[in-house]
Every structure is written in C-alpha cells, then in structure tokens.
Amino acid sequence: MIGRLNHVAIAVPDLAAATAQYAQTLGAAVTVPQDLAEHGVTVVFVTLPNTKIELLAPFGPASPIQGFLDKNPSGGIHHLCYEVPDIHAARDRMLAEGARVLGAIKTGAHGKPVLFLHPKDFTGTLIELEQA
C-alpha cells in the first residue's frame, strides 16, 4: 500500500537556525516558513533530489510538538511520511489491521489529505500517510 517516502520530519527548537543550517551549512534548497494553524506547527521544507525534510516548530499555545521538544530540547526526528494512493482506503485498512489512527483525516502541508498513526503500533515511530 505505501509508496514513496514523502518526507522525514524533524522537530526543531529554533526554526530560523535550523533553516539556515540546512540552507547554508548543508547547501540545500529550503522553502519559506508556512504556519499550519490546524496542525499547531510552522514548517519549512528542505527539498532533496529523492525526498524532503520537514523542519517543524511549534505554532500557537497548544502545539502537538511542544511535548516532544520538552523531552528532546535540541530537537529530533518526529515522524516519517509515506505516500498512499487513497487516504480513505488507507484509513480503513489501518483500522481493519488494528492500528490506531490519531484523529481525523486533515489537510497537510502540501494541501493533500493526511492522517497519523500511533507510534506504539509502528516500532516507536509516528507515521504520517499522505495521499499522493
């Protein structure tokens, strides 16, 4: 069912510093920051030839990544995003397989529908599925 690795997301305490590090130190192409109020994050995408890196910083007072940054103050890998052809079929399959789907299907950073799967069901890794 899953296809390409769409992105690896890294939670960062300082988005400007992390963006500058990827752009200047590592010499990567980066996007401008984008506030995603529905997700409680501000994102910058690093575009690589074969995938993307999503730099995530908290947006708003109740950001879902604040707890992660409290536990990992210098930042860390937050989730992996895999592409699926049909998000509703993917959700139904995950539920039938006994995996926990976190919340509802939402619109993700690329304007496409996404959902999240509980890390305890996937070897300690938060999984995002995005309709390609």
Of 76, 74, 125, 129, nearest to 106 (Cα)? 129
Q: How far apart are CA 57 and CA 40, in angstroms?
A: 9
Q: Which of 38, 54, 83, 128 is catalytic?
A: 128
Interface pick for Co ion out of 87, 116, 127, 128 (rule CB under 5 A): 128
Q: Are 125 and 8 in contact (CB under 8 A)?
A: no
- 130 annotated active-site: no
Question: According to the binding rule CB under 5 A, does residue 83 interact with Co ion?
Answer: no
Q: How far apart are CA 1 and CA 44, in angstroms?
A: 27
Tell me, residue by residue from 42 to 61, as one string, x for binding to Co ion by CB under 5 A and - for no binding. Answer: ------------x-------
Question: According to the binding rule CB under 5 A, does residue 115 interact with Co ion?
Answer: no
Q: How far is the CB of 79 from Co ion (least distance, A)?
A: 6
Interface pick for Co ion out of 57, 80, 81, 117 (rule CB under 5 A): 81
CA of 4: how far to CAs of 43, 50, 52, 111, in Å?
A: 20, 9, 11, 17
- The owner of tokens 């990827």 is 22
Binding to Co ion (CB under 5 A): which residues in 3-42? 9
Tell me the window of 14-22, 78-86, 94-102, 116-124 that interacts with Co ion (CB under 5 A): 78-86
- Provide the annotated active-site residues: 128
